């Protein structure tokens, strides 16, 4: 499996560490309420299809990356730096 890094280009999967759904970037405000915090901390979808998750290019440039990929076909549809996805104000 090869994954695209926005900085380094296409690299072998073993250089990356997987870190779960990109939902982690959408931290609710302190006043968002217990339901929003419950979703943020605990509830995850398990899609058969397109999903967005966080990968760390640990054995590479050390960037956090939002990877969009299809769990059914293994197709990788896109990759963006997590820092920029967050700066843009939305990760969806």
Partner 1 sequence: MVDLKTKTPCAGLVPVRVGPLSLVEDAPGHMTALAPYLGQDAALSEALKAAHGMAAPGVGRMSGKRGARALWFGQRMILLMGPAPDAGLAEFAALSDQSDGWAVLHLEGRGAGDVLAHMTPLDLRPTQFKRGHSARSECAHMPASITRLGDEAFQIMVFRSMAATLVHELKTAMGRVVALQ
> Is residue 57 within the footprint of Zn ion (CB under 5 A)?
yes
8 Å CB contact between 18 and 84: no
Residue 24: which of partner 1, Zn ion, none does it interact with, CB under 5 to 8 A by kind? none
Angle 70-5-87 from CA coordinates, rounded to 5°: 90
Distance CA 92, CA 90 (A): 6
Least Å from the CB of residue 87 to partner 1 = 11
Stretch that binds Zn ion, among 5-13, 40-48, 70-78, 83-91 (CB under 5 A): 5-13
Least Å from the CB of residue 1 to Zn ion = 15
Decide whether 7 or 50 has the Cβ nearer to partner 1.
7
Rounded to a whole number of angstroms, the distance between the first and last alpha carbons of the chain is 25
Alpha helix positions (H), 4-81 = 34-41
| Positions that interact with Zn ion (CB under 5 A) | 5, 7-8, 57, 60-61
């Amino acid at each position: 499996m090869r994954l695209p890094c926005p900085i380094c280009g296409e690299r072998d999967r073993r250089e990356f560490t997987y870190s779960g759904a990109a939902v982690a970037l959408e931290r609710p405000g302190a006043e968002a309420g217990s339901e929003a915090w419950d979703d943020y901390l605990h509830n995850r979808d398990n899609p058969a299809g397109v999903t967005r998750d966080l990968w760390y290019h640990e054995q590479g440039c050390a960037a956090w990356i939002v990877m969009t990929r299809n769990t059914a076909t293994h197709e990788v549809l896109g990759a963006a730096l997590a820092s920029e996805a967050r700066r843009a104000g939305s990760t969806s």
